[in-house]
């Protein structure tokens, strides 16, 4: 077979690594893919568990948690921030609206085994990297979406059955185990609904408004609007 | 998301074991599909590189890579382990990217070669360490420009063979084409790539 000439070969050699992704690329794209899968793939099936199934899932191992520590911003917001500020991962910390720790460049993706470029040095990462790995970088290494789905479905089933305490416990468990999980947005939405159904105070309405302003097209947005009365009232 | 544990041999393909030593009957052991996260981790670097090389503009790279993996997720149950998972994923990628290229051409967003490539005087001399003459990024842009001039089939074959190091049979499997056809496309792609490089050099020296 006709082989490439030395000049073309040298050009290809010189371009080695020019197209390698940064570790931040892998984390960012995965978050977006999981978000799309979560919206389109799971869809209605996400919230389709009975209360009995929820209780069976939870069993007797419901942890008694003293505090609720839900993150205010989920994966989608983080992803959109990265899309708008592609250099933020290496050059700056995540802005204050994102309640996640500073970002690091933890290489979460294994090199492909057959690529000749897999063994080469990765493309130059920006110099300013943080030592603490970002939660999403850790999440990338875990196959945890199914576990997330089970928790969120169970929480929703409990919520629909009126068992607010059980629902809150499941959401707390999800927040603890998957603070930046792919279904963080769904978790936060369910928490808002549970709060509204429990006591529709001004603070819960503000929480609902914040969620809807942040994620107006979330799968759960319609349910939040229905559950939380007075959403359109101006805030004082 | 979690699927049955992966069971592949060192090459990433599904092994075959003889059921009876003398019977000549070869049976496949039960194949179990790798979980999505494992597929993602193993293939993302190659997918990202290929999307960049195949002429996808920077602002669309994320979207195209996402499209590849959403398709991978939806079709993962159909993967039967007849080839390496990377081969299977790159086959999906090729279809997604070629569709993108077609749409881009229809919309008239193709780039002129001269607008894509850099200063030809910076092209590497094969006798000298290319890193002393040309930056990696500059070389990458030149390669992108030359690949952009190839038609979809040739660009795919060339990038998979020359940049991802895949064998022709693997490429044929990924693209769903005949091996002989793939060999022919690779030969033609190499000729076109060389021709484009010579033309580029001539333009900038003239």
> Tell me, what's the pLDDT at A103?
28
Most confident of A221-230, B108-117, B138-147: B138-147
H helix runs in chain A, sequence order: 6-14, 23-36, 51-58, 75-84, 88-91, 135-140, 145-160, 164-177, 184-198, 202-214, 221-227
Pick A10's closest partner by Cβ from B70, B126, B163.
B126
Nearest to A159 by CA among A169, A146, A149, A147: A169
Are the beta carbons of A37 and B62 separated by less than 8 Å?
no
Please give the ipTM for the structure prediction.
Answer: 0.74
> Tell me, what's the pLDDT at A139?
46
pLDDT confidence tier of residue B118, bands split at 50, 70 and 90: very low
Joined together, the tokens standing for residue A198 give 């429990």
Chain A positions in Cβ-Cβ contact with residue B75 (cut-off 8 Å): none
> Tell me, what's the pLDDT at B163?
93
Enter the DSSP assignment of A142. Answer: S
How far is it, in rounded angstroms, from Cα A204 to Cα A183? 21
Q: Is the CB of residue B134 less than 8 Å away from at least one CB of chain A? A: yes
Query: Average of pLDDT values for A212-218?
Result: 74
B16 phi/psi in degrees, rounded to 5: -115, 140
Pick B41's closest partner by Cβ from A8, A109, A123.
A109
Q: Is the CB of residue B101 less than 8 Å away from at least one CB of chain A? A: no
Query: Average of pLDDT values for B103-126?
Result: 51
Are the beta carbons of B42 and A112 separated by less than 8 Å?
yes
Pick A115's closest partner by Cβ from B46, B140, B143.
B46
> Tell me, what's the pLDDT at B129?
52
Query: Average of pLDDT values for A67-94?
Result: 34
pLDDT confidence tier of residue A228, bands split at 50, 70 and 90: confident
Q: How many A/B residue pairs have CB atoms within 8 Å? A: 159
Q: Is the CB of residue B38 less than 8 Å away from at least one CB of chain A? A: yes
> Tell me, what's the pLDDT at A68?
24
How far is it, in rounded angstroms, from Cα B33 to Cα A78? 31
Joined together, the tokens standing for residue A39 give 């919206």
Chain A positions in Cβ-Cβ contact with residue B126 (cut-off 8 Å): 6-7, 9-10
Query: Average of pLDDT values for A53-64?
Result: 40
Pick A8's closest partner by Cβ from B1, B48, B197.
B197
Q: Is the CB of residue B169 less than 8 Å away from at least one CB of chain A? A: no
Chain A positions in Cβ-Cβ contact with residue B140 (cut-off 8 Å): 15, 18-19
Are the beta carbons of B86 and A114 separated by less than 8 Å?
yes
Strand B26-28 with B16-18, pairing: antiparallel
Nearest to B174 by CA among B18, B5, B43: B43
Q: Are B168 and B182 in contact (CB under 8 A)?
A: yes
Q: Is the CB of residue B151 less than 8 Å away from at least one CB of chain A? A: no
Q: Are B52 and A123 in contact (CB under 8 A)?
A: no
Chain A positions in Cβ-Cβ contact with residue B133 (cut-off 8 Å): 14
Nearest to B83 by CA among B24, B15, B36, B138: B15
Of A140-149, A199-208, B87-96, the poorest mean pLDDT is in: A140-149
Are the beta carbons of A117 and B52 separated by less than 8 Å?
no
Chain A positions in Cβ-Cβ contact with residue B48 (cut-off 8 Å): 19-21, 25-26, 29
DSSP, residue by residue, B42-56: HHHHHHHHHHHHTT-
Chain A positions in Cβ-Cβ contact with residue B37 (cut-off 8 Å): 140-143, 145
Query: Average of pLDDT values for B35-50?
Result: 91
B28 phi/psi in degrees, rounded to 5: -80, 135
Are the beta carbons of A12 and B142 separated by less than 8 Å?
no
Chain A positions in Cβ-Cβ contact with residue B197 (cut-off 8 Å): 7-8, 11
**Does residue B47 register a pLDDT over 90?**
yes
DSSP, residue by residue, A169-190: HHHHHHHHH-TT-TTHHHHHHH
Are the beta carbons of B12 and A7 separated by less than 8 Å?
no
How far is it, in rounded angstroms, from Cα B164 to Cα B49? 9
Burial of B22 (0-12, 13-18, 19+ CB in 10 A): exposed
How far is it, in rounded angstroms, from Cα B99 to Cα B94? 8
Of A91-95, A227-231, B7-11, B71-75, the poorest mean pLDDT is in: A91-95
Are the beta carbons of B193 and A146 separated by less than 8 Å?
no
**Does residue B104 register a pLDDT over 70?**
yes
Chain B positions in Cβ-Cβ contact with residue A16 (cut-off 8 Å): 136
Nearest to A16 by CA among A133, A123, A170: A123
CA B199 to chain centroid, in Å, comes to 25
Of A122-136, A183-197, B80-94, B103-117, the poorest mean pLDDT is in: A122-136
How far is it, in rounded angstroms, from Cα B91 to Cα B185? 16
How far is it, in rounded angstroms, from Cα B46 to Cα B113? 24
Chain B positions in Cβ-Cβ contact with residue A2 (cut-off 8 Å): 187, 190-191
How far is it, in rounded angstroms, from Cα A84 to Cα B74? 28
**Does residue A173 register a pLDDT over 70?**
yes
């Amino acid at each position: 077979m006709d082989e490439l000439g030395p000049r073309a070969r040298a050009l290809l050699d010189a371009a080695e690594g020019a197209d390698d992704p940064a570790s931040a690329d892998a984390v960012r794209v995965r978050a977006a893919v999981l978000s799309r899968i979560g919206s389109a793939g799971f869809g209605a099936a996400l919230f389709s568990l009975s209360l009995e199934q929820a209780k069976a899932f939870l069993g007797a191992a419901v942890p008694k948690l003293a505090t609720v520590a839900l993150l205010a911003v989920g994966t989608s917001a983080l992803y959109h921030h990265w899309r708008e500020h592609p250099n933020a991962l290496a050059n700056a910390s995540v802005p204050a609206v994102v309640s996640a720790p500073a970002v690091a460049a933890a290489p979460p993706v294994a090199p492909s085994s057959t690529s000749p470029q897999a063994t080469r040095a990765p493309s130059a990462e920006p110099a300013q990297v943080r030592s603490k790995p970002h939660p999403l970088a850790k999440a990338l290494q875990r196959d945890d979406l199914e576990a997330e789905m089970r928790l969120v479905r169970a929480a929703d089933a409990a919520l629909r059955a009126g068992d607010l305490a059980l629902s809150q416990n499941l959401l707390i468990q999800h927040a603890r185990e998957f603070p930046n999980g792919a279904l963080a947005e769904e978790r936060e939405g369910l928490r808002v609904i549970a709060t509204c159904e429990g006591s529709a105070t001004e603070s819960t309405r503000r929480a609902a408004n914040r969620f809807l302003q942040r994620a107006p097209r979330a799968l759960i947005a319609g349910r939040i609007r229905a559950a939380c009365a007075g959403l359109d009232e101006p805030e004082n | 998301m979690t699927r049955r544990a992966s069971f592949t041999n060192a090459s990433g393909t599904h092994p075959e074991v003889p059921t009876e030593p003398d019977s000549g009957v070869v049976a496949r052991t039960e194949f179990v599909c790798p979980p999505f996260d494992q597929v993602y981790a193993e293939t993302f670097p190659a997918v990202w590189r290929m999307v960049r090389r195949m002429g996808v503009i920077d602002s669309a790279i994320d979207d195209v890579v996402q499209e590849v993996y959403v398709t991978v997720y939806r079709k993962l149950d159909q993967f039967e382990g007849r080839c390496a998972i990377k081969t299977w994923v790159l086959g999906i990628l090729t279809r997604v990217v070629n569709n993108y290229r077609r749409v881009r051409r229809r919309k008239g967003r193709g780039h002129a070669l001269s607008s894509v490539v850099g200063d030809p005087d910076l092209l590497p001399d094969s006798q000298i360490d290319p890193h002393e003459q040309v930056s990696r990024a500059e070389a990458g842009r030149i390669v992108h420009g030359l690949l952009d001039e190839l038609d979809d089939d040739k660009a795919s074959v060339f990038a998979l063979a020359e940049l991802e190091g895949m064998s022709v049979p693997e490429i044929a499997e990924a693209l769903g084409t005949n091996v002989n056809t793939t060999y022919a496309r690779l030969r033609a792609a190499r000729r076109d790539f060389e021709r484009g490089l010579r033309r580029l050099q001539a333009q900038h020296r003239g």
